Amino acid sequence: MHRLLIMIKKYNFHFFLILSLLSPFVIQAQDQTQTKKIEIVHANVGVYDKSLGENAQRLIGKVEVEHEGSNLWCDSAYVYGGAKNSMDAFGHVHIQMNDTLHLYGDQLYYNGNTRIAEIHQNVRLLDTKLTLYTDDLIYKRNERVGEYFIWGKVVDSANVLTSKKGFYYADLKEVHFLDSVVLVNKDHLLNTDTLNYHTEFKTVDFRGPTTIVGDSSYMYAETGFHDTNNDYTRLYKNAFMQDKANTLSGDSLYYSKIKGIAEVFANVQMTDTVQHLVVSGGYAKYLKSKQYAFVVDKALAILIEENDSLFVHADTLKVMLDSTDKVERLLAYRHMKMFRSDFQGKSDSLVYNMKDSTVYFYKDPVLWHKENQFRADEIRMITKNGEMDSVVFQKNVFLTSQDTIDPHYFNQIKGNSMVGWFKENDLRKLRVIGNSETIYFLWEEDKTPIGMTRISAADMLIFLKDNQLETITYEKEPKAKLYPPSKIPPDKLQLNGFLWLTDERPKKKEDVFIW
């Protein structure tokens, strides 16, 4: 017997020794497989009813339960113990996830094993800086994500956002909205298909056809970014912006309402619908506070008229706006060329005054009208109702036209200044003032040459018909000389300063880019 007791003690010692060595692994395995049970903290009435299922309890009145750091309150509940580890809650449901996150609703199903809550009717999710409203919400505690699929609304201090579907990411501080998304704040109304909202910075990233409408502005793009706090927008893919009568479009567009600056990149088009002006190029910048915009990189302005359009190109095109944001002037800098079917021009720079339809050419300007080439230090052209009305030439004026019978000869007029008048877009009258000189070639009706006449006078008045010389009146002691065809001195064929620049004349609208 004594030996038996010794053996039992001996084997018990080994059993407990082995158990003590294995116990940490057993406990760890249990922790990994077991989930903490839903704990009942309080209820006015608790009823155990076998008909509800095994380990099921009915709780009534000021119900409070706790599960893994979260507390739940409601009017009544069914708590399912055992493997189910779940509950149904009814009336004034409130879950406190942590110090900042609260969930409210009328009905709830909570699974303690998956830590997923399904809450219905009058649902509110409150976080520090926002409130989410919906009728059906799934909240996954493990991922800290809330999901709704039948309309929802998020409200914070700056914005109200609604959509058919939404996902709230508590850790990322973001809400992802899908389908029929609308954002409303004091400045804008935004509509899109897909939108990510950062709740801390009040910024949105959107995808799909999107419109942003303000008091006097309208924006559109198919992807982009909008800072609702700082009113800053980046638009990509078919980017478009309208401010009153002016529009901007391009591959991408950046706009700051606070700074009053917009920038457009690639395939730029700027339009004034009132003045019928379109300006295109590779880059544009609009400064609302300074009331101007400029376009560079193959910049082209099109002034659309009822019968014809004027095409103007320069290295830089600048649009000046008036107090109503309507285009007041168009400025072209460096390598300006222009084309319209009835006249063309080139110069270093140009100013087009939209209010009185006056065009100013500066630095080596040349203007072509039908067979005539005009040159001067400065040219001012006035149009009315889309047609040429008059042209004023200042300093070193030179008018040249190629003879219609013999193209080797050039008819020429020179003077200090000159004014030309048009009727129905035909040059009808010219007045040359100061040191006027002319060279003109004369022909019989059968095109037999008469000779070349060279005349100088103080002033002259010229009338034309069908673009041909009709009469010339020389004023103040004219001096004239006629050279027979066989006796025209080669050095007398051209007035001093003669240049024939037909190779630089744009023959079609695309030629304005050629220098």
**pLDDT tens for each residue of 142-176:** 999 999 999 999 999 999 999 999 999 999 999 99
Q: Answer whether residue 513 shows pLDDT above 70.
A: yes
Lowest mean pLDDT among 12-21, 61-70, 222-231: 12-21
pLDDT score at 426 = 82
Mean pLDDT for 240-256 is 91
pLDDT digits (tens, 9 = 90+) for 70-117: 999 999 999 998 889 999 999 999 999 887 899 999 999 999 999 999
**Strand locations in 273-406, DSSP E?**
277-287, 292-296, 300-304, 309-313, 316-321, 327-340, 343-353, 358-362, 366-369, 372-375, 378-384, 387-402
The CATH topology of domain 365-506 is: lipopolysaccharide transport protein A fold (2.60.450)
pLDDT score at 134 = 97
pTM (two decimals):
0.78
pLDDT score at 32 = 40
Amino acid at 26: V
75: nearest Cα among 86, 65, 60: 60
Residue 273 confidence class, pLDDT cut points 50, 70, 90: confident
pLDDT score at 387 = 78
pLDDT score at 245 = 77
pLDDT score at 9 = 38
pLDDT digits (tens, 9 = 90+) for 307-322: 789 999 999 999 998 8
pLDDT score at 26 = 36
pLDDT digits (tens, 9 = 90+) for 331-368: 999 999 999 988 899 999 999 998 888 999 999 999 99
Mean pLDDT for 431-439 is 91
How many Å from the N-terminal Cα to the C-terminal Cα in the chain?
123
pLDDT score at 97 = 86
Residue 49 confidence class, pLDDT cut points 50, 70, 90: confident
Q: Answer whether residue 227 shows pLDDT above 80.
A: yes
pLDDT score at 183 = 96
- Report CA-CA distances (Å) from 397 to 68, 160, 373, 394, 477: 94, 67, 11, 7, 20
Task: Taking the CA atoms of 317, 323, 327 and 328 in sequence, report the sign of the dihedral they define.
Answer: negative
- CATH number for the domain whose boundaries are 38-125: 2.60.450.10
Q: Answer whether residue 462 shows pLDDT above 90.
A: no
pLDDT score at 34 = 58
Q: Answer whether residue 25 shows pLDDT above 80.
A: no
pLDDT score at 53 = 76
Name the more confident of 70 and 8. 70
* Domain boundaries defined on the chain: 38-125, 244-360, 365-506
Q: Answer whether residue 454 shows pLDDT above 50.
A: yes
Mean pLDDT for 456-467 is 85
Q: Give the CATH number of domain 244-360; options: 2.60.450.10, 3.30.470.10, 3.30.70.790, 1.10.3720.10.
A: 2.60.450.10
Q: What is the mean pLDDT of the chain?
A: 88
Amino acid at 421: W
Structural contact between residues 248 and 220, judged by C-beta atoms closer than 8 angstroms? no
pLDDT score at 86 = 94
Name the more confident of 19 and 484. 484
SS3 188: coil
CA–CA separation, 161 and 91 (whole Å): 27
Percent of the chain surpassing pLDDT 90: 62
CA–CA separation, 428 and 426 (whole Å): 6
Residues in CB range of 426: below 8 A, 6 or more apart? 370, 464, 466, 467
pLDDT score at 244 = 78
Structural contact between residues 184 and 191, judged by C-beta atoms closer than 8 angstroms? no
